[in-house]
């Protein structure tokens, strides 16, 4: 008899929006570099330097997210869900990301080097941009496949087996390593309005204040990197 109180489930909204942001922003950058490679957008030293900063922050954020899954989420899952989950393929995906992230960072360095030289050669810059576009496309494809698989396999397991307290620990660890000035305004770009409302309701007034403080600087950086 009696009623059972439904068990409180972890809220996966922040993770879902974070995943979407990584995927969508990487794809957007791959498409941008395709346009630079095709001569549709002209890059100079200033824009290449802004792009390099953006890509370094992006790569650090992607690496940190997956490292935190390995270091914090995986042990939580092994302890809470044990045999219900097999993390080997997802771990292999994580390891496969690192060399591609290195390739993207190196491509951004090379683009700056070409455009910073006295005789900045636009033809060479376009060749380097094409290589960087290929690296970003590879990164984007890896992220799409990996994150789709991870959400399909792990989200139901997290909801079912992981405690709200453990999930809070995971989310805190994910947040701790990233550059908040870079990550927060990007979340806002890729979250649906209703999702943003929910995130604001969870985080309280601090989120609104942080976004108001960080949005203008991020938009300026974004305009330099992505503008026509």
Nearer to Fe ion, 150 or 171 (CB): 150
Smallest distance, Fe ion to C-beta of residue 72, A: 12
Nearer to Fe ion, 128 or 147 (CB): 147
Residue 25 interacts with Fe ion (CB under 5 A): yes or no = no
Residue 26 interacts with Fe ion (CB under 5 A): yes or no = no
Distance, CA of 55 to CA of 108 (rounded, Å): 7
How many residues contact Fe ion, by CB under 5 A? 3
| CA distances from residue 41 to 31, 58, 80, 113, 136 in whole angstroms, order as listed | 11, 21, 50, 18, 17
Contact set for Fe ion, span 120-179 (CB under 5 A): 150
Q: Of 25, 110, 34, 108, whose CA–CA distance to 62 is shortest?
A: 25
Nearer to Fe ion, 48 or 73 (CB): 73
Residue 69 interacts with Fe ion (CB under 5 A): yes or no = yes
Per-residue exposure over 60-82, b if at least 16 CB sit within 10 Å of its own CB, e if not: bbbbbbbbbbeebbbebbeebbe
Using an 8 Å Cβ cutoff, are 110 and 128 in contact?
Answer: yes
Q: Which segment (64-72, 132-140, 170-178, 180-188) binds Fe ion by CB under 5 A?
A: 64-72
Using an 8 Å Cβ cutoff, are 17 and 97 in contact?
Answer: no
Q: Which segment (16-24, 34-42, 61-69, 71-79) binds Fe ion by CB under 5 A?
A: 61-69
Nearer to Fe ion, 69 or 103 (CB): 69
Task: Give the interface with Fe ion as residue ranges (CB under 5 A).
Answer: 66, 69, 150
């Amino acid at each position: 008899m009696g009623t059972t109180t439904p068990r409180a489930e972890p809220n996966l909204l922040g993770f879902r929006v974070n995943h979407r942001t990584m995927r969508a922003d990487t794809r957007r950058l791959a498409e941008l570099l395709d346009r630079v490679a095709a001569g549709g957008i002209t890059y100079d030293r200033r824009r290449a330097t802004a792009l390099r900063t953006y890509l370094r922050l992006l790569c650090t954020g992607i690496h940190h997210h997956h490292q935190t899954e390995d270091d914090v989420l995986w042990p939580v899952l092994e302890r809470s869900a044990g045999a219900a989950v097999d993390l080997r393929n997802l771990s292999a995906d994580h390891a496969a990301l690192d060399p591609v992230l290195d390739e993207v960072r190196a491509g951004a360095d090379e683009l700056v080097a070409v455009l910073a030289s006295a005789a900045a050669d636009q033809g060479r810059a376009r060749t380097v941009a094409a290589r960087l576009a290929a690296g970003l496309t590879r990164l984007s494809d890896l992220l799409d496949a990996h994150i789709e698989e991870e959400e399909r396999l792990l989200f139901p397991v997290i909801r079912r087996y992981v405690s709200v307290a453990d999930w809070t620990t995971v989310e805190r660890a994910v947040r701790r390593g990233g550059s908040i000035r870079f990550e927060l305004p990007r979340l806002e770009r890729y979250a649906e309005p209703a999702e943003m409302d929910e995130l604001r309701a969870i985080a309280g007034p601090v989120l609104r204040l942080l976004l108001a403080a960080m949005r203008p600087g991020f938009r300026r950086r974004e305009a330099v990197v992505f503008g026509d």
